[in-house]
Amino acid sequence: MNRREHLKALAGAAAGLAAPAQTGTQPPNILFLFTDDQRFSTLHALNNPEVKTPTMDALVARGTAFTRAGIMGGTIPAVCAPSRGMLMTGQTLFHVHHNLIDPKSPPEKRRPYHMWPEVLRQRGYETFSTGKWHNGEKTWARCFSQGENIFFGGMSDHLHVPVADFDPTGEYPKSKRHIAKGFSTEIFSDSAIRFLKNHKSGKPFALYLPYTSPHDPRMAPKDFADLYSPDKITLPKNFLPEHPFDNGEMKIRDEALAPWPRTPEVVREHIAAYYAMITHVDYHMGRVLKALEESGHAGNTIVVFSADNGLAVGQHGLLGKQNLYEHSMRVPLVIGGAGLPRGKRTDAYAYLYDLFPTLCDLTGTATPDTVEGSSLAPVIRGHKDKVRDSMFSAYRTCQRAVKGGRYKLIRYNVNGARTTQLFDLQEDPLEMRNLAGDAGQKHRIGGLNSLLGGWMRKTEDIAPVSDFVA
């Protein structure tokens, strides 16, 4: 199959999304598509003419795209684990840290939590998942009534994925895992398609499909890799050979994927491989959505598409996600189907942990009082323009950031060495010009400092406020 035939196949996979959604007599089904390490600026329809994403573009056309969605950050280098914990529990970063991430957290720091698949399951939904789960076997068992090819960790590459079969007892010892045959994206998509074809119970379903792609190693099949020639890839305008100062996480595994200083040639190779992985997962998402159409359930299904975090891939001299720049904190987020508005875009601030109350709202399910997020349903339906005025993000105990309106403040405390950055995101969306040294910005920095301190106290930050706010 040549490149042109592949592009036709990609477009065909997305074609089934054109049918208008209709609400049914029972609560709507949920199909949640979740990618790994996909930054917000990787959708052709929204912001990137170089990447080929016909399935994701079709989702944008049929739903509401939140163009300023993001995560609150991470308390460990594997940012995906707290991000997925926040998504599942609807709780903020440091509460998830104590509940799911740090096994040594004292009991007084822990708090009750529910998870949205668990709540839907208790309501009578058939809940199914396949793919990546990085928040423990016991929590998975609480959430899902069915599953297949469950990945709890330990992958070396996308062709050697250790998976577990569903066990109704909820026990998933490592001794029962095996290496699945095939590419991770295809394995998980096939499992989801089998569920959709076999779902006959009459119950509403919630299908959660978290991929391991486009996470490295970026090894897309040749037909997809051939779609992107590194010498035709545009180098990011905020490319740097090295980050200009120590941000507290300069030698993490993600950053060691390319030598220092970075070169334009190496970064273009990484971006080309990244785009190929995205187009590959886009194709298989199209297969899943086609199966949804063929199942007869599409008219009463809400489809959510998002990702666990972004990725630098050469911007600011970085490759990974262990930073608070927009490329690493912002993610794609699209919600559509089942009678919801089509072709809508909003710049309302949204966190992944808002999806728990949003799904409850859209399915008519009571939201547990343990949830800290805000439902995005009023924004989707046009009843509100926004659910918050600012966003806060954190990485371990060395980086904190806050943004409100057009400005963003990032503060670093690395072994007592403090650095401040201030960006005008309206004029400088790639965060290239640090305004912190401008005398005229002193008052603005003071206001953002106060906002940052408020967020740190409200979220019960594990770092002292005084480490970042003078």
The CATH number assigned to the domain holding 411 equals: 3.30.1120.10
- Which of the listed residues 383, 409, 437 is the one where a domain comes to its end? 383
Picking from 383, 418, 435, the residue at the C-terminal end of a domain is 383
Chain CA centroid to CA 4, Å = 30
Verdict on whether the full-model pTM lies above 0.85 = yes
* 292-310 tens-digit pLDDT: 999 999 999 999 999 999 9
Q: Same domain, yes or no, for 372 and 396?
A: no
Binning the chain into helix, strand and coil, the percentages to the nearest 5 are 35, 20, 45
Residue-level pLDDT at 10: 63
3 φ, ψ to 5°? -60, -45
- Are residues 221 and 121 part of one domain? yes
Mean pLDDT along residues 13-26 = 55
Q: Report long-range pairs for 399-404 (Cβ below 8 Å, ≥24 apart).
A: 399/73, 399/247, 399/248, 399/249, 399/323, 399/324, 400/324, 400/452, 400/456, 400/461, 400/463, 400/468, 401/324, 401/329, 401/452, 402/448, 402/451, 402/452, 402/455, 404/448, 404/451
CATH number of the domain at 267, please.
Answer: 3.40.720.10
Q: Please name the residue that has the structure tokens 């792609």.
A: 213
Same domain, 394 and 343: no
Residues 142 and 263 in one domain: yes
Q: 48 and 177 share a domain?
A: yes
Distance in angstroms between the alpha carbons of the first and the last residue of the chain? 60
Which tens digits make up the pLDDT trace of 177-193?
999 999 999 999 999 99
Over residues 268-300, the pLDDT tens digits come to: 999 999 999 999 999 999 999 999 999 999 999
424-439 confidence digits (pLDDT tens): 999 999 999 999 999 9
- Residue 20 in domain: no
**Has residue 18 been placed in a domain?**
no
Residue 349 and residue 425 share a domain: no
Region of poorest pLDDT, from 25-29, 351-355, 365-369, 371-375: 25-29
Q: What is the largest CA-CA distance in the chain?
A: 66
Q: Is residue 1 part of a domain?
A: no
| Residue 231 domain flag | yes
Asked if 214 and 37 count as a contact pair (C-beta separation under 8 A), the reply is yes
In the predicted structure, residue 231 carries a pLDDT above the cut 70: yes
Letter for the amino acid at 244? Answer: P
- Phi and psi at 390, nearest 5°, equal -150, 165
Q: Are residues 378 and 402 in the same domain?
A: no
Helix (H) or strand (E) holding 351: strand 350-351
140 and 200 share one domain: yes
Average pLDDT over residues 459-470: 96
Please check whether residue 16 lies inside any domain of the structure.
no
Quote the domain boundaries for residue 349. Answer: 28-383
pLDDT at 201: 83
Is the Cβ–Cβ distance between 396 and 413 less than 8 Å? no
Give the span between the Cα atoms of 77 and 81, in whole angstroms.
9
**Rounded average pLDDT over 213-225:** 97
Looking at the structure, tell me whether residues 407 and 449 fall in a common domain.
yes
Same domain, 463 and 351: no
| Same-domain check for residues 77 and 166 | yes
Check whether residue 186 and residue 64 sit in a common domain: yes
3-state per-residue secondary structure call for 272-291: HHHHHHHHHHHHHHHHHHHH
21 has pLDDT over 50: no
**How many structural domains comprise the chain?**
2
The whole-angstrom separation of Cα 430 and Cα 355 is 27
| Mean predicted confidence (pLDDT) in 114-123 | 98
Residue 14 falls inside a structural domain:
no
DSSP 129: E
Do strands 29-35 and 301-307 pair parallel, antiparallel, or not at all (unpaired)?
A: parallel
Q: Give domain status of residue 361, yes or no.
A: yes
Look at residue 3 and tell me if it is in a domain: no
Mean pLDDT of 116-130: 98
pLDDT of residue 19: 47
